[in-house]
Amino acid sequence: MRAGTGRTRPTLSAATSISSRRDGRARVPWAKLKGMKTTGAVLTEAPGRWELAELELEDPRQGELVVEMVAAGLCHSDDHYACGDTPVARFPFAGGHEGGGVVVEVGPNTPGWSPGDHVVLSFLPVCGRCRWCSTGQQNLCDMGRFLRDGTRADGSYRLQLDGEPVAQMCGLATFSRHTLVDATAAVKVEPDLDLEAACLTGCGVGTGWGSAVNSAGIEPGHTVIVMGTGGIGANAVQGARHAGATHIVAVDPVTLKREVASQVGATHTYATMNEAIDLARSVTNGQGADSAIICTGVLEQDHVRAAFDAVRKAGTVVVTALGRADTEVAVNARELTLYQKRIQGSVFGESNPLTDIPLMLELYRSGRLLLDELITTRYRLEDINRGYDDLHAGHNVRGIIVF
Ligand SMILES: NC(=O)c1ccc[n+]([C@@H]2O[C@H](COP(=O)([O-])OP(=O)(O)OC[C@H]3O[C@@H](n4cnc5c(N)ncnc54)[C@H](O)[C@@H]3O)[C@@H](O)[C@H]2O)c1
Ligand SMILES: [Zn+2]
Ligand SMILES: [Zn+2]
């Protein structure tokens, strides 16, 4: 049984303080808190709804920052926790892993940071020293492995709810008015940048854009299919454009998503993969797409099969979408071997947070990367569940919370 399952769900209304109950698991190390109080959205069960709770933040330790959030993106990955697709290691679980804000407090002996610094938070921290960081693969930083449990590297927690430790989504918890993060997950940005747009680079943009630019192996003239053009896929479309693709085929059953995909660079849009495959073959002398990037909300076997079918010999399927924890991928083995097709997983689009977030923001500043166009609806923190209802109903390319 997962920690926290089987507990009685407190009856709550928005903006009410809630109590967590002991779940019988061994106590985890955490410091006596004397820090500030804030309001954040938490899950207390899964499947479950987001509930507002009064959270207490520990005083920042060395290498930590207290950030006052300005904006946070409603990524589908948080919804995977709420729906139960992704197991939650500990409840309460404070959500949000895409966000931007202003540093209000800096831990002791933490050089390089000052109150007032503007930051985009990266859902992957960068230690700068591990094998991955030191070989230009910051997205695979070993510190990332601690994020699953919502703890720091030593297994400790920094937020508290009525005396119980609270897990932080990706170590961040951007659905809180204030949060306490490791500075390795903060990327300083210029203060004149609009943080509502910039916050998207912490997950959605880096993931989608990088899935095209880094993972798909796109070259000038290529034909690329992007399957699912929500917050991630719309950025894969933009990445495909930057990488020089000639035909950028967006597939999404929702009209709004197809319209926005066209606005940000798709040359063709379809509601189904069959139509996209027909188009790709028609423009490649029957060979098929050079690559297909899967950015659907919940990855299913069929999505990978369709993308695998869509690509030409030696073509690439990029799997960016996340499925349920037990989803497996099967493709025809002969086709894999004899057609030399490649299936490439991609986390944060193989982007390096410390260099690619500033790069993407420069592209935004120069008008080449469109971010404002991706924000469909702004919500108050109190309306977070409406935001996720809208995501499910297909109303948003990206919804954001504005604090
Ligand atoms: N790999 C990573 O590092 C990473 C990072 C962030 C998010 N993700 C994952 O990426 C996925 C997309 O996230 P998002 O925030 O863009 O979600 P979203 O809900 O905003 O967008 C998903 C889109 O897929 C479309 N869709 C659903 N089924 C489809 C189908 N069969 N064919 C074509 N389109 C279909 C939906 O209409 C929607 O527009 C999620 O699974 C999310 O968890 C992965
Ligand atoms: Zn995300
Ligand atoms: Zn590292």
| Predicted confidence (pLDDT) per residue in 128-166, tens digit | 999 999 999 999 999 998 888 899 988 999 999 999 999
Q: What pLDDT sits at residue 250?
A: 99
**CATH number belonging to the domain at 208-346, selected among 1.10.540.10, 3.40.50.12780, 3.40.50.720, 3.40.50.80:** 3.40.50.720
How many angstroms does the Cα of residue 349 sit away from the middle of ligand 3?
16
Q: Residue 231: name the closest of 248, 213, 256, 214 by CA.
A: 256
Q: In this structure, which residues have their CB less than 5 angstroms from ion ligand 2?
A: 75, 77, 203
Pairing mode of beta strands 311-319, 342-345: parallel
Rg for the chain (alpha carbons), in Å? 21
* Residue range(s) in the chain whose domain bears CATH number 3.40.50.720: 208-346
Q: Residue 41: name the closest of 84, 94, 100 by CA.
A: 94
Mean pLDDT of the chain: 92
Q: What pLDDT sits at residue 271?
A: 98
Q: How far is the C-alpha of 259 from the C-alpha of 252, rounded, in Å? A: 10
Q: What pLDDT sits at residue 35?
A: 74
Buried b (16+ CB within 10 A) or exposed e, 85-119: bbebebbbbbbbbbbbbbbebbbeeeeebeeebbb
Name residues contacting ligand 1 (CB within 6 A): 75-77, 80, 203, 207, 227-233, 251-254, 257, 295-299, 303, 320-322, 346-348, 391, 394
**78 three-state secondary structure:** helix
- pLDDT tens for 17-70 read 333 333 333 333 444 345 799 999 999 999 999 999 999 999 999 999 999 999
Of ligand 1's listed atoms, the one at least distance from the Cα of 211 is 1
60 burial level (CB within 10 Å; 0-12, 13-18, 19+): buried
Indicate the pTM of the whole model: 0.92
Pairing mode of beta strands 342-345, 375-379: unpaired
Q: What pLDDT sits at residue 18?
A: 36
* Residue range(s) in the chain whose domain bears CATH number 3.90.180.10: 37-192+371-402
Would the CA dihedral through 159, 162, 164, 170 be positive or negative?
Answer: negative
Buried b (16+ CB within 10 A) or exposed e, 384-403: bbebbebbeeeebbbbbbeb
37-192+371-402 maps to CATH 3.90.180.10:
yes
Pocket test for ligand 1, best of 203, 232, 269, 273 (most atoms within 8 A of CB): 232
How many angstroms does the Cα of residue 364 sit away from the middle of ligand 1?
22
Looking at the chain, the whole-number percentage of residues with pLDDT higher than 90 is 89
H/E element, 356:
helix 353-365
Say if residue 123's pLDDT is above 70: yes
How many angstroms does the Cα of residue 322 sit away from the middle of ligand 1?
8
Pocket test for ligand 1, best of 320, 350, 391, 397 (most atoms within 8 A of CB): 320
- pLDDT tens for 233-250 read 999 999 999 999 999 999
173 in Cβ contact with 38 (< 8 Å): no
